[in-house]
């Protein structure tokens, strides 16, 4: 079994005069994993997160971190052992980016020179250009500020990172980038990360485990994202994960059985590959000299080049395979290798047959 890093033992939090914000929460968070707390507004996600570092004290129950009851550790010491990233990034406005990142190491007694050196390394880690170090937070974009927030949380190299809706204030493209970067970082860092969001897509992308909270501070389901999408524990979870859950679930289904077919190609400005375009109803894939796809052509189109759909890399999920086929004007999803060179094409009908096969296998296993 995975080693527990954080444990909630029958934890309840009741603010004065209200319903419980968190109601009898028991859960175990594995070391080195990303656990996402997700749920509608006001269901106790932030309160639960803040009880880990004692920004909020439980009314009853206990929380242990690495086997120690958090109440046995002085709160300031506890907080310094955990990075904290929040929605607004929470940067100090009158300090430079570099000094913001160096703040916690300085509080921990690291020399100014060492703290700054570490801060510079962290700029690279979170993908920020070094010249940004001298700027002030207001001179950065929202996405850059969040990166500084992550760098600052990592500066003291804490084993635990608490992240409260860190990416919710940025636009969807930047958000996607930040999510992918967090996953890349986590591969090397293997921190224990607790991440709060109200977005089920973000939860299923990031979480090794997802905890779905219901209004009233009750834990409705705690499972892998795949399981939550495939088998919601009750009607509340089913409605929270939403109508697209079947499609999202494909993101966890292997595309191993999908067949790659050869495709007629033309290098832009040259003659064809010799494969008969009749096999693909006249569609030909236009590629560059390196065999990277540029778009499609078909006889009778005046424009010459029709933009292609999303690309698929063998080994990716069935969701990516289906999207590549459905988004392609030819109905053929283009498969590429790690360098982006064409490997072949996949057919939508065959991907759908695999989806059905996977469904039948799941049903038989029930």
- The residues of the shown chain that bind ligand ATP, judged by CB under 6 A, are 15, 18, 21, 39, 41-47, 198
Residue placing its CB nearer to ligand ATP in the complex, 193 or 258: 193
- Please give the Cα distance from 264 to 258 (Å, whole number): 19
3-state secondary structure of 274: coil
Q: Residue 108 Cβ, how far from ligand ATP at the closest point, in Å?
A: 28
Residue placing its CB nearer to ligand ATP in the complex, 43 or 161: 43
Residue placing its CB nearer to ligand ATP in the complex, 185 or 193: 193
Secondary structure (H, E, C), 307-329: CCCCEECCCCEHHHHHHHHHHCC
Q: Residue 45 Cβ, how far from ligand ATP at the closest point, in Å?
A: 4
Q: Residue 170 Cβ, how far from ligand ATP at the closest point, in Å?
A: 17
Read off the tokens for 242.
């939403």
Residue placing its CB nearer to ligand ATP in the complex, 99 or 164: 164
Strands 218-223 and 209-214, by their bridges, are antiparallel
294: left (phi over 0), alpha (psi -120 to 50) or beta: alpha
3-state secondary structure of 267: strand
Phi, psi at 156, each rounded to 5°: -90, 10
Q: Residue 41 Cβ, how far from ligand ATP at the closest point, in Å?
A: 3
Read off the tokens for 213.
């909270």
Which residues have C-beta within 8 Å of that of residue 17, sequence separation ≥ 6?
A: none
Q: Residue 34 Cβ, how far from ligand ATP at the closest point, in Å?
A: 18
Residue placing its CB nearer to ligand ATP in the complex, 19 or 281: 19
Residue placing its CB nearer to ligand ATP in the complex, 42 or 348: 42
Give the CA dihedral 189, 192, 197, 201, nearest 10 degrees: 60
Q: Residue 234 Cβ, how far from ligand ATP at the closest point, in Å?
A: 18
């Amino acid at each position: 079994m995975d080693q527990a890093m954080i444990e909630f033992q029958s934890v309840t939090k009741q603010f004065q005069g209200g319903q419980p914000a968190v109601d009898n929460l028991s859960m175990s968070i594995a070391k080195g994993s990303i656990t996402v707390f997700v749920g509608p507004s006001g269901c106790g996600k932030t309160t639960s997160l803040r009880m880990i570092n004692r920004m909020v004290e439980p009314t009853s129950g206990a929380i242990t971190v690495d086997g120690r009851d958090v109440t046995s550790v002085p709160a300031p010491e506890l907080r310094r052992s955990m990075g904290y990233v929040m929605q607004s990034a929470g940067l100090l406005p009158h300090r430079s980016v570099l000094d913001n990142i160096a703040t916690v190491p300085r509080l921990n007694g690291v020399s100014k020179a060492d703290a700054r050196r570490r801060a510079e390394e962290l700029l690279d880690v979170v993908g920020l250009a070094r010249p940004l170090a001298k700027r002030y937070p207001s001179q950065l974009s929202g996405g850059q500020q969040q990166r500084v927030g992550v760098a600052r949380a990592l500066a003291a190299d804490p084993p635990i990172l608490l992240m409260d809706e860190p990416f919710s204030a940025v636009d969807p493209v930047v958000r996607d980038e930040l999510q992918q970067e967090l996953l890349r970082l986590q591969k090397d860092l293997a921190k224990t990360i607790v991440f709060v969001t109200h977005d089920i897509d973000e939860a299923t992308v990031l979480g090794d485990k997802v905890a779905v909270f219901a209004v009233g501070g009750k834990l409705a389901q705690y499972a892998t994202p795949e399981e939550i999408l495939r088998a919601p524990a009750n009607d509340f979870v089913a409605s929270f994960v939403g109508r697209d859950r079947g499609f999202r679930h494909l993101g966890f289904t292997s595309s191993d059985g999908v067949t790659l077919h050869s495709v007629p190609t033309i290098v832009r400005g040259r003659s064809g590959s010799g494969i008969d375009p009749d096999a693909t109803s006249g569609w030909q894939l236009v590629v560059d000299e390196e065999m990277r796809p540029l778009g499609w052509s078909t006889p009778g189109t005046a424009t010459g080049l029709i933009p292609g759909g999303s690309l698929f890399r063998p080994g990716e999920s069935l969701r990516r395979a289906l999207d590549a086929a459905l988004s392609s004007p030819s109905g053929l999803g283009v498969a590429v290798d790690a360098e982006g060179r064409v490997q072949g094409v996949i057919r939508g009908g065959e991907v759908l047959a695999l989806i059905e096969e996977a469904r039948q296998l799941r049903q038989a296993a029930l």
